[in-house]
């Protein structure tokens, strides 16, 4: 009986090891795909931005006097069937990453996504997976580090890291609350919490 029980434990251990290896290989494959997506997207995005900057700017239409002034909308440009609003730069991590105009589980496997807000309302929140080539190293940022966001019109805005937080997985209100001009967040490894980087508009 002891021999059978020992054999069962060995088989169970082997199954668990195989499952762990399969999960590791799957995660590594997803990370490699995400890295390739960024490498392919950034040159396309840079070219589109340059073309848009070189194109003549149409004269703005005069709004009706009775109309309420509207907040500007961020320009969305379609690349490979998906809408992008620009790219985020994190010099301290040597990253430049495209940002999709909306988010879903499938889109997050391609690149970081806009979670809520905009550059015009001063409350933009960008989310991404914790892939190494996405937001997996956000925890390494420190107060004072520079973060940039370049929109599809070629306008670059500069931000400065103000604080790092760790929030719970359902703390949506806390994620979007406060007066930070830019927030970046990703899951911790294991998905229990959210690494959150708060940024103010850079002085000067």
pLDDT tens per residue across span 146-202: 999 999 999 999 999 999 999 887 787 788 877 899 999 998 877 788 999 999 999
pLDDT of 20 above 50: no
Write down the pTM of the prediction: 0.78
Q: What span, in angstroms and rounded, lies between the C-alpha atoms of 85 and 27?
A: 27
Task: Identify the burial level of 51 via C-beta atoms within 10 angstroms of its C-beta, where 0-12 means exposed, 13-18 middle and 19 or more buried.
Answer: exposed
Instruction: Indicate the CATH number of 1-54+76-204 among 2.40.260.10, 3.50.50.60, 3.40.50.10860, 3.30.70.600.
Output: 2.40.260.10
Convert 82-96 to b/e letters by CB count within 10 Å (16 or more is b).
Answer: bebbbbbbbeebebb
Cα distances (Å, whole numbers) of residue 176 to 14, 104, 180? 44, 18, 9
Q: What span, in angstroms and rounded, lies between the C-alpha atoms of 34 and 156?
A: 24
The residue-averaged pLDDT of 105-124 equals 94
Contact 37, 138 (CB under 8 A): no
Tokens of 190: 């294991």
Q: What span, in angstroms and rounded, lies between the C-alpha atoms of 139 and 144?
A: 14
Dihedrals phi, psi of 6, to nearest 5 degrees: -65, -40
Contact 100, 106 (CB under 8 A): no
Confidence (pLDDT) at 71:
78
Quick: pLDDT tens for 74-101: 999 999 999 999 999 999 999 999 999 9
Give the model's confidence band at 62: pLDDT under 50 very low, under 70 low, under 90 confident, else very high: low
């Amino acid at each position: 009986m002891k021999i059978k029980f020992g054999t069962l434990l060995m088989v169970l251990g082997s199954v668990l090891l195989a499952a762990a290896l399969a999960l590791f290989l799957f995660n590594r494959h997803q990370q490699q795909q995400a890295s390739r997506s960024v490498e392919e997207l950034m040159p396309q995005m840079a070219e589109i931005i340059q073309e848009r900057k070189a194109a003549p700017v149409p004269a703005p239409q005069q709004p009706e006097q009775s109309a309420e002034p509207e907040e500007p909308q961020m320009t969305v440009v379609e690349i490979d069937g998906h809408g992008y609003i620009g790219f985020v730069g994190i010099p301290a991590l040597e990253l430049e990453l495209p940002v999709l105009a909306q988010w879903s589980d499938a889109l997050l496997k391609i690149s970081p996504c806009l979670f809520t807000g905009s550059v015009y309302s001063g409350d933009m929140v960008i989310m991404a997976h914790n892939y190494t080539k996405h937001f997996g190293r956000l925890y390494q940022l420190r107060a004072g580090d520079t973060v940039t966001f370049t929109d599809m019109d070629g306008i670059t805005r500069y931000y400065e890291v103000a604080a790092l937080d760790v929030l719970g997985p359902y703390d949506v209100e806390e994620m979007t609350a406060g007066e930070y001009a830019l927030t970046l967040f990703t899951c911790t490894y294991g998905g229990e919490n959210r690494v959150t980087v708060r940024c103010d508009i850079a002085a000067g």
